[in-house]
Amino acid sequence: MSISFTVNGLTVSVDTDPDTPLLWVLRDTLGLTGTKYGCGIAACGSCTVHIDGAAVRTCVLPVSAVADRDVRTIEGLSADGTHPIQQAWRDLDVPQCGYCQSGMIMAASALIAESPDPSDEEIDRAMTNICRCGTYPRVRAAIHRAVRGDA
């Protein structure tokens, strides 16, 4: 079955089983490997992308769910890595191992788009991605830095 949607501003059409998880279409079919596989049950958030601007976990989301919708991956967040959240991430050395970071960055950028000056409580509610390295204090600091505009 052919399914069409927009990825990072480009319309794509993929011929695949409609139940194939979007994560595998992004990685294996479209070659967008910045989105990571973590748990396979939508718990860890490594596979987070934006769908119509909202942070969504893609490891269990069938590709058919994004037909005619807008998908943005970490590769499409900014062409040169200068999105304020990406800059703040670098400035504050947020990642340790880095595996979860693309999902974290996508969740954080969706939060900032929805709530331009989130409180610590809003950050805690929105940032449910799991980081094995425990960089949560740096994640929160980077979000605050990005919204202040000094990243």
Query: Residue ranges per domain, the chain?
Result: 2-77, 84-148
pTM of the model: 0.95
At CB < 8 A and 24+ separation, what contacts does 51-54 make? 53/110, 53/113, 53/114, 54/110
Alpha-carbon torsion, ordered 9, 67, 111, 101, to 10 deg: -70
Q: Contact, 105 vs 81, CB < 8 A?
A: no
Question: Is residue 81's pLDDT more than 70?
Answer: yes
CA dist 92 and 95 (Å) reads 9
Helices (H) and strands (E) in the chain, counts: 6, 5
What's the CATH number of domain 2-77, 3.10.20.30, 3.40.50.2020, 3.40.50.720, 3.40.50.300? 3.10.20.30
Superfamily covering domain 84-148: [2Fe-2S]-binding domain (1.10.150.120)
Which residue spans within 1-147 are E strands per DSSP?
2-7, 10-15, 48-51, 54-57, 70-72
> Do the domains spanning 2-77 and 84-148 agree at the CATH topology level?
no
Model confidence band, residue 150 (pLDDT cutoffs 50, 70, 90)? low
Model confidence band, residue 75 (pLDDT cutoffs 50, 70, 90)? very high
- Mean pLDDT, residues 25-50 taken together: 97
Nearest to 42 by CA among 66, 58, 19: 58
Question: Is residue 50's pLDDT more than 60?
Answer: yes
- Mean pLDDT, residues 93-119 taken together: 95
Question: Is residue 130's pLDDT more than 90?
Answer: yes
- What's the mean per-residue pLDDT of the chain? 96
Nearest to 109 by CA among 88, 138, 94, 93: 88
CB burial readout 18-47, b (16+ within 10 A) else e: eebbbbbbbbeebebebbbbbeeebebbbb
